[in-house]
Amino acid sequence: MDQYCVMGNPVEHSRSPRIHARFAELCSQPMAYGRRLVPIGAFAEGLAAFRSEAAAQGDTARGCNVTVPFKFDAASLAQHTSERATLAQAVNTLRFEADGSIHADNTDGIGLVNDIVRNAGVPLAGRSLLLIGAGGAAAGVLGPLLDAGAARIVVANRTLDKAIALVQRHAALALRHGATLEAWALDEVPGAFDVVINATASSLAGDAVPVSAQVLRPGALAVDMMYGPAAAGFMAWAEAHGAVARDGLGMLVEQAAEAFEFWRGVRPPSAQVLAELRASLAAGA
């Protein structure tokens, strides 16, 4: 049996096992996927233990997802890293090769793009985007948003220097796509946008939305990368100001689909699984 897992701390809340089990069922892929709680500061040891324990059972560890706080640790262990993961300086997916080497990717950004474009039906090409935040979540999605053809992206953050650093790291990619890429402080964001993405922890903490409603164009899409109750405040704010609100559940499923294809070479029916998951959560399951 090929084994996969999600590694993090905490990790018991993760819906990844449920999502990947459904992907495997629908795609007839013989694999197992579990959760592994890893002590802080011991990611390398946790990864080695996962691989050795699978081998002891007669199975093969083929890869893993990585969640907080280990995305930077994972990046340092890989021998091969995708361009988008290199730009993000963080990794959420590892694939173990037969020669023992590790390939790393970050599927968060393409997951967000696919959810916006495919599931929400909102094209990003030629649009103006506001990305709120400049931490790891924002870093993971900026590159794929540029690849999607956005004409202008503003990165707004409480600490302006952090936003500037993120923008500078992506300057060459923006130039390649002919996109305008800017960094602003949260209270100085100029203009209104077609798409507004909240990549801060404000929703998780129950804090107020960190930008003015003036950033929302009429009918704009406003996406919170959190989902469930954590996203409720941001979504209510967006809808109250005439925007179309969306949570991060679709991003979660779509980034998992990218990881699944990275591992198995098969594209799972992510839209079907997202619809099933939304229905299940609505029913309280």
Residues carrying an active site annotation: 71
According to DSSP, the β-strands at 102-105 and 193-198 are unpaired
Residue 159, annotated as binding a ligand: yes
Residue 126, annotated as binding a ligand: no
- Determine the straight-line distance between the first and last CA of the chain, rounded to whole angstroms: 28
Residue 276, annotated as binding a ligand: no
Residue 161, annotated as binding a ligand: yes
Cα(107)–Cα(113) distance, integer angstroms: 10
Residue 162, annotated as binding a ligand: yes
Residue 16, annotated as binding a ligand: yes
**DSSP H helical ranges for the chain:** 16-27, 43-56, 71-77, 83-88, 108-114, 136-147, 160-169, 171-177, 202-205, 232-240, 249-264, 270-282
Residue 52, annotated as binding a ligand: no
Residue 73, annotated as binding a ligand: no
Residue 136, annotated as binding a ligand: yes
Residue 187, annotated as binding a ligand: no
Residue 261, annotated as binding a ligand: no
Residue 46, annotated as binding a ligand: no
Residue 226, annotated as binding a ligand: no
CA angle 155, 161, 221 (to 5 degrees): 15
- Coil, strand or helix at 103: strand
Residue 1, annotated as binding a ligand: no
Q: 76-82 long-range contacts, Cβ below 8 Å, gap at least 24?
A: 77/43, 77/44, 77/47, 77/102, 77/104, 78/102, 78/103, 78/104, 79/103, 80/104, 81/105, 82/106
Is 44 within 8 Å of 77 (Cβ atoms)? Answer: yes
According to DSSP, the β-strands at 216-224 and 244-246 are parallel
Residue 65, annotated as binding a ligand: no
Cα(230)–Cα(115) distance, integer angstroms: 19
Is 92 within 8 Å of 67 (Cβ atoms)? Answer: yes
Annotated binding site for shikimate: 14-16, 67, 92, 108, 227, 255
Annotated binding site for NADP(+): 83, 133-137, 157-162, 225, 248
